[in-house]
């Protein structure tokens, strides 16, 4: 009886051990440890508490680390105590990027996060992701602890999908006590902000020290014209900033609100970087003209991003912005998102002329989705690309543009013929009328490009007029190409006959 018990006990231990080995083998995560830096990405891998503990064991002995960058979002975590204890050993830590959002972590964890922040006395850069975490009181306590950190001069706080309606946004006001702060990023996407909420943002911007870098991501709120007025009044007290990013997607902003915002922005003559996101608002042509007027005053810009995609924004507004960009002689990076406004081939021709003037760009991102530029417009875009001499990064989105074989081939041929080939290329030609013959020619050009030292070529080719056989041939051919990502499907040619 005793022998049988021992055998069963041994068998049970053996089974448990093998289950543990199996579980260990099924916990996947990306980790990189390089001298004094640790990078780990567990985003959306659903590893749970057990997987997090395994990850912590991998880096817990690197006590001299100065930089820790980790994304633990969306992982089903309920207990992060082991992580916080491990981080508390990193006494020399100067830079911490810790993304914890969208996990069922209990509010009882708040004091432990506060304790960690108190212990990290040498921290200079803090990026903390608290998206949809804790209750209002818990978040307020963490913000208060952050405001007491005396060496942090670069701060990013992410609160995506967190309810900050009415006076709840006042929890951010203690940040104004950080007199050493030089860079502030507030990611407040989908936080139920309204025009009344922006009074607190105005107060915060007024009380903050003079910043060099300011990022305000207010994507998907409803601040409207009155909110823009308050925000602009706050920005007036930060006119000295050198880098400004404001994302205002879907905020019910009109041309009047755009006028207020851009009148202040136009006074920020120290700006070297400006990213303005006004996509899907109601800025109209007049609002675009206000953007152009502001750009006329910002002659030190080397990094510009304008997102004005909107169906109520027409050619006159588009033309105003393009002509203003043409005069910015110091640009090195340009991102232009002008989708769904039907600028047509005439708009593409104007873009070509602007690119001729800016032939030393290092980064070029053009999103002309649903602008109906056609083959002529695609050819104009290709001609503009040929003028570029120093491109390192190129992203070109020409989806939904009524482009057929000639225009598509012209674009890819122009990229192929660039004298200085970018290291990273992202090309999108989905939902156009491109047939089998042209598709094969396009892939031949891409094949040559991938042999010219390109580090990554991404090609999206969805919803075109390919036959299944050609699609399969293209996919098979693409497997032989290095550093190439190919996204493709097919729609029968009869689809286009019905359009």
Q: What is the mean pLDDT of the chain?
A: 91
Select the more confidently predicted residue: 484 or 497: 484
Q: What is the pLDDT of residue 491?
A: 58
Token output for 214: 């300011």
H-helix or E-strand containing 246? strand 243-247
pLDDT band at 431 (very low <50, low <70, confident <90, very high): very high
Q: What is the pLDDT of residue 15?
A: 46
28 pLDDT exceeds 70? no
Contact 196, 230 (CB under 8 A): no
What's the mean pLDDT in 464-486? 92
405 pLDDT exceeds 90? yes
Q: What is the pLDDT of residue 14?
A: 44
168 pLDDT exceeds 70? yes
Q: pTM for the whole thing?
A: 0.91
Phi, psi of 425 (to 5 degrees): -125, 130
pLDDT band at 108 (very low <50, low <70, confident <90, very high): very high
What's the mean pLDDT in 112-141? 96
148 pLDDT exceeds 70? yes
Whole-angstrom distance, CA of residue 186 vs CA of residue 341: 30
User: pLDDT digits over 286-307, tens only?
Assistant: 999 999 999 999 999 999 999 9
Q: Where are the alpha helices (DSSP H) in 266-343?
A: 284-295, 315-326
pLDDT band at 9 (very low <50, low <70, confident <90, very high): low
Residues in the chain: 499
Token output for 380: 């104009």
Whole-angstrom distance, CA of residue 458 vs CA of residue 422: 12
Question: Among 77, 75, 81, 82, which residue's Cα sits nearest to residue 59?
Answer: 82
Q: What is the pLDDT of residue 3?
A: 55
What's the mean pLDDT in 368-373? 94
Least-confidence region, from 55-59, 242-246, 457-461: 55-59
Q: What is the pLDDT of residue 20?
A: 40
What's the mean pLDDT in 368-395? 97
23 pLDDT exceeds 50? no
Contact 205, 169 (CB under 8 A): no
Token output for 25: 């083998």
Whole-angstrom distance, CA of residue 72 vs CA of residue 96: 13
How far is CA 239 from each of CA 164, 264, 430, rounded to the nearest angstrom? 26, 8, 41
pLDDT band at 492 (very low <50, low <70, confident <90, very high): low
What's the mean pLDDT in 188-216? 96
Strands (E), 349-483: 363-367, 393-397, 424-428, 456-461
52 pLDDT exceeds 50? yes
Whole-angstrom distance, CA of residue 442 vs CA of residue 233: 51
What's the mean pLDDT in 40-49? 81
Q: What is the pLDDT of residue 387?
A: 96
């Amino acid at each position: 009886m005793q022998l049988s018990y021992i055998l069963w006990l041994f068998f049970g231990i053996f089974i448990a051990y093998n289950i543990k080995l199996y579980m260990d083998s099924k916990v996947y995560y990306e980790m990189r440890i390089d001298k004094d830096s640790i990078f780990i990405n567990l985003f959306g891998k659903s590893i749970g508490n057990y997987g997090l503990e395994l990850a912590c064991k991998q880096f817990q002995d690197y006590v001299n680390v100065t930089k820790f960058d980790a994304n633990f979002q969306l992982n089903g975590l309920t207990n992060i105590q082991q992580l916080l204890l491990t981080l508390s050993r990193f006494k020399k830590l100067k830079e911490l990027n810790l993304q914890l959002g969208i996990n069922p972590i209990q509010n009882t964890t708040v004091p432990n996060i506060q304790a960690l922040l108190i212990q990290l006395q040498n921290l200079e850069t803090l990026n903390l992701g608290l998206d949809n975490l804790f209750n209002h009181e818990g978040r307020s306590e963490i913000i208060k602890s952050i405001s007491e950190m005396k060496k942090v001069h670069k701060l990013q706080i992410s609160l995506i999908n967190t309810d900050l309606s009415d006076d709840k946004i006042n929890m951010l006001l203690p940040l104004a006590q950080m007199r050493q702060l030089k860079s502030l990023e507030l990611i407040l996407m989908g936080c139920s902000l309204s025009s009344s909420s922006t009074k607190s943002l105005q107060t915060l911007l007024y009380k903050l020290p003079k910043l060099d870098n300011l990022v305000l991501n207010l994507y998907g709120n409803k601040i409207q014209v009155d909110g823009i007025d308050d925000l602009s009044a706050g920005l007036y007290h930060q006119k000295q900033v050198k880098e400004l990013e404001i994302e205002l997607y879907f905020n019910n902003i009109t041309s009047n609100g755009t006028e207020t915002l851009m009148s202040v922005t136009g006074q920020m003559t120290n700006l070297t970087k400006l990213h303005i996101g006004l996509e899907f608002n109601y800025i109209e042509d007049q609002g675009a003209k206000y953007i152009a007027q502001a750009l006329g005053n910002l002659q030190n810009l080397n990094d510009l991003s304008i997102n004005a995609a909107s169906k109520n924004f027409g050619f006159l507004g588009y033309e105003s912005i393009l002509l203003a960009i043409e005069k910015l002689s110091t640009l090195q990076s340009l991102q232009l998102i002008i989708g769904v406004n039907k600028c047509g081939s005439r708009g593409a021709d104007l873009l070509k002329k602007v690119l001729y003037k800016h032939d030393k760009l290092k980064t070029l991102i053009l999103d002309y989705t649903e602008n109906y530029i056609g083959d002529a417009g695609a050819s104009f875009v290709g001609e503009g690309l040929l003028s570029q001499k120093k491109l390192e990064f190129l992203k070109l989105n020409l989806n939904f543009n009524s482009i057929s074989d000639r225009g598509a081939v012209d674009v890819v041929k122009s990229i192929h013929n660039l004298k200085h080939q970018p290291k990273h290329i992202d090309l999108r030609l989905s939902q156009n009328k491109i047939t089998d013959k042209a598709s094969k020619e396009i892939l031949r050009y891409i094949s040559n490009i991938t042999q010219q030292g390109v580090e990554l070529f991404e090609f999206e080719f969805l919803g075109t007029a390919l036959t299944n056989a050609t699609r399969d041939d293209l996919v098979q051919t693409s497997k032989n190409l290095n550093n190439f990502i190919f996204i493709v499907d097919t729609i029968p040619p009869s689809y286009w006959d019905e359009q």
